């Protein structure tokens, strides 16, 4: 699912880490928020579209 630009993008990395931490502490609401924010970021910054 991740492209090479995602692997190098600091914001993508931060959102991935935040999601992982949220899942670690079983905060599924925050994990979902991170996925939504990452999707919006990818659409805006990496030009990804569904």
What pLDDT does 17 receive?
Answer: 97
For residue 32, give both structure tokens: 């979902």
Interval 1-32: pLDDT, tens: 445 555 689 999 999 999 999 999 999 999 99
Tokens representing 4 are: 């090479």
d(CA 6, CA 25): 25
Which residues have C-beta within 8 Å of that of residue 43, sequence separation ≥ 6?
49
- Tokens 């995602």 belong to 6
Host H or E run for residue 10: helix 10-24
> pTM, whole model, 2 decimals?
0.78
Calpha distance 25→2 (Å, rounded): 24
């Amino acid at each position: 699912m991740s492209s090479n630009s995602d692997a190098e993008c600091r914001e993508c990395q931060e959102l991935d880490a935040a999601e992982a931490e949220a899942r670690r502490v079983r905060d599924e609401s925050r994990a979902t928020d991170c996925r939504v924010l990452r999707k919006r970021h990818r659409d805006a910054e990496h030009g990804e579209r569904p």
